[in-house]
Each structure stands twice: as structure tokens, then as C-alpha cells.
Amino acid sequence: MRWKNRPDHSNWGDFGPDDQIGRLNLLTDDCRLAAVAEVKEGRVFCLSLPLDLPGGNLLVPERRPPVRGVEARVQPHHFVNFPMELENPNWDDVSCDDYVTLYTQYSTQWDALSHVGRHFDADGDGKAEAVYYNGYRAGTDIVGLEADGGPAALNLGIEKMAETCVQGRGVLIDLHPDFGSERKLVTLADIERIMEKDDVVVEPGDMLCFHTGYGQALIDMGGNPDPEILHNAFAVLDGRDERLLSFIEDSGISVLICDNFAVEGFPYADRPGETHYHGLPIHQRCLVDLGIHLGEMWYLTPLARYLGENQRSRFLLTAPPLRLPGSFGSPATPVATV
Ligand code: UVW
């Protein structure tokens, strides 16, 4: 056993002692059949931003736009419009190849379960150690540059998510009509009111999406983002709302997705006089306690508009990350079919 104590509200062990996909266990074949039944028109929506957005590195300085390049194939010819006759005089083909350095959490992305952990006394020795979902450990399972093969998630890497294919029923709650571009910490009371108004029902296994309009703003800013909008505009979930955390736990959702930066209102105001609290309470409840992957900076606006105009909230969602062994996150190009 990897742990003696598990955190309150966690499901560690419930899907098996070595489980690495968490709530994706609830995304069953039956859920996928129910999702396919939501396809009425066959129309598709690309839910990814162009991966070079937001542009610059103002959101997180260590996350940079993609860097693309090309190798030489036959000196001095680079692999762009490369005349294949240089390799075989009979060939009339030309060809292009490139490479890219991608910061996995720069743009539209999934957070792997190795993205966030916490200091917690899982082994019961009276001292907190850094642990991740299901008790996987920093230094053993999640290793840095000091380790052979590091940095890597030797367990809980994003490839575990990719191997499930990540297809199911998407359910969208549209926050934008109510809050516009206002920076609003959204509570469960707000969400319940909107669900009631829009007749949205969430069931176990559902892939729950919140549309705020932030992704559209990133597109509209064209790669030159206004810091005020990046940091201080559009709705974010209120991770300090205990009722909202309980809803995430009790609803049985398989994943949680937003079109904003971090799903929740990060960074939160300090708690005066308090030390040792979660900086990212929704990340903690989802990634660490329950194994709920988080999707961030998706592009949900055209889909939200379509669903609103058609009095719908459900669709087939296909959203695998890259099958990139050991990674803490991944870009994604999710597809909604309605
Ligand atoms: C942070 O690291 C703030 O979280 P995320 O990349 O999941 O938004």
C-alpha cells in the first residue's frame, strides 16, 4: 500500500491501489453510447485555441509560445520544399518536415494528475510529504532533473489519460450570458441558478464544461494580450465555496473543463492570520483528491452559442491529450459533435 492515511474527501484506492486515471473510470462504454445519442446533426466544433495563443508569456512567465524549426536534410538544403531528387534523381516529389518545442500548459490543455500535488502525511509518520493522486510520491513517481529519465511523471503521466481515449458526453454550462466579461468568482448558487434557467442536468461520467468567454477574448486579442483582461476579466470558479467543491465530488463528473486560465480564481486573496491553506483548492479537490483531470483555456464560444440557440447543453466530446509518456500535461484539440 502506497499510503496509510488518505485525505478527507479523497477517493484514493476506490478504483484500485494502483489506479492512475481517477474519475475517468466513470466514463464507461454506456456513457459513450449515451454521448453518441446526443449527436443530432453531425456538426462539429473545434474546441482548441490556435496553440500559439494567448501570445507572449504574461500569464505564467515560464510558459512560452511554441518554438518551431526545421532540420537540414541534405546540406545545405533544409527540410522545406525539399527536392527529393537530391536523394533519388528519379523522384519528382518535394517535401516539408518540422519540429516543435511545446510548453504543455501554454494554451488549450489538459492537466495530468501529476500536475499538482500537496504536502500531506500519507504514510502516517507524523510528517507531511509531497504526494499526488492515489498517494503517488514526489521523488519516486514524479521525478525532477536529478533522476534518470527526469523530469517525468513515472506514474500519473498524461499518457495514462490518452490511453482511455477521453470520449464521452460533454455538458456545457454557459456562464457568459450572466457575467459577461466581469471577473466574477462563481459559486455553486450561481451555477445552480443557471442550470435551472437553462435546464442543464449533470450525471455521473459527464465531462462538465464551463463557458466564460475568456477563450474568445484570447482570440480577439490576436496574440497581443491585454494584461488587464488576462488577469482580471471573465468568470472563474470559486474554489473557496465548499458547496461547489462538494458538488464536484458528489456529481460524479469525470473531468472538469473551462475556457479560462485555471478553471478557478487563481491567485486567491490571502487568508489573513492563516497559514497552510490550498493555493488552488479546485485543483486540490480534483487532481489530488478525486483524480479529476482539468481542461483549461479551451475554446468553447461557438459551441456555447450553438447550444444556446438550440436549447441544448449536451454533445459528444472527443478530447484525448497527446500520448506523451511522462508529461505533466498536454495540449489538446478537442472536438464536439452535436
Ligand atoms: C496553475 O499552475 C496556476 O494551474 P494551471 O496550469 O492548471 O492553470
CA-closest residue to ligand 1 atom 3: 262
Q: Which atom of ligand 1 is nearest to the CA of 283?
A: 7
Choose which residue among 283, 292, 297, 298 to substitute to test ligand 1 binding: the one with the highest number of ligand atoms within 8 A of its C-beta: 283
For every one of its 338 residues, what pLDDT tens digit does the chain have, with 9 covering 90 and above?
A: 899 999 999 999 999 999 999 999 999 999 999 999 999 999 999 999 999 999 999 999 999 999 999 999 888 899 999 999 999 999 999 999 999 999 999 999 999 999 999 999 999 999 999 999 999 999 999 999 999 999 999 999 999 999 999 999 999 999 999 999 999 999 999 999 999 999 999 999 999 999 999 999 999 999 999 999 999 999 999 999 999 999 999 999 999 999 999 999 999 999 999 988 999 999 999 999 999 999 999 999 999 999 999 999 999 999 999 999 999 999 999 999 99
Sheet holding 329-331, edge to edge: 44-46, 335-337, 314-318, 167-174, 207-211, 255-258, 293-296, 109-111, 329-331
Q: Is residue 332 part of a domain?
A: yes
Q: Which atom of ligand 1 is nearest to the CA of 263?
A: 8
**pLDDT of the residue at 288:** 98
Q: Is residue 322 part of a domain?
A: yes
CB 109 within 8 A of CB 294: no
Q: Is residue 210 part of a domain?
A: yes
Inter-axis angle of helices 242-251 and 188-198, to 10 degrees? 50
User: In angstroms, what is the span from residue 310 Cα to ligand 1's centroid?
Assistant: 33
**pLDDT of the residue at 58:** 95
User: In angstroms, what is the span from residue 60 Cα to ligand 1's centroid?
Assistant: 9
Q: Which atom of ligand 1 is nearest to the CA of 266?
A: 3
CA-closest residue to ligand 1 atom 2: 262
Q: Is residue 279 part of a domain?
A: yes
Mark 218-245 as b/e (b = at least 16 C-beta within 10 Å): beeeeeebeeebbeebbbbbbbbbeebb
User: In angstroms, what is the span from residue 111 Cα to ligand 1's centroid?
Assistant: 8
Q: Is residue 314 part of a domain?
A: yes
Element housing 329 (H / E): strand 329-331
- CATH number of the domain to which 183 belongs: 3.50.30.50
CA-closest residue to ligand 1 atom 7: 262
Give me the number of domains the chain comprises.
1
> How many CA atoms lie within 13 Å of 285's alpha carbon, on the beta-carbon side?
24
Beta strands in 240-291, from DSSP E residues, in sequence order? 255-258
Which range marks the domain in which residue 275 is found?
Answer: 22-59+104-116+155-337
**pLDDT of the residue at 104:** 98
User: In angstroms, what is the span from residue 109 Cα to ligand 1's centroid?
Assistant: 10
User: In angstroms, what is the span from residue 184 Cα to ligand 1's centroid?
Assistant: 18
Contacts of 274 (CB under 8 A, 6+ apart): none
Helix (H, G, I), strand (E, B) or coil at 172: strand
CB 79 within 8 A of CB 89: no
- The cell for 176 is 457568459
Q: Is residue 30 part of a domain?
A: yes
Name 60's bridge partners: none
Residues in the ligand 1 pocket, defined by CB under 6 Å: 105, 111, 115, 261-262, 266, 294, 296
Determine the Cα–Cα distance for residues 197 and 190; give it in Å rounded to an integer. Answer: 11
Q: Is residue 288 part of a domain?
A: yes
User: In angstroms, what is the span from residue 243 Cα to ligand 1's centroid?
Assistant: 22
**pLDDT of the residue at 310:** 98
Q: Is residue 38 part of a domain?
A: yes
Q: Which atom of ligand 1 is nearest to the CA of 115?
A: 7
Determine the Cα–Cα distance for residues 243 and 189; give it in Å rounded to an integer. Answer: 8
CA-closest residue to ligand 1 atom 5: 262
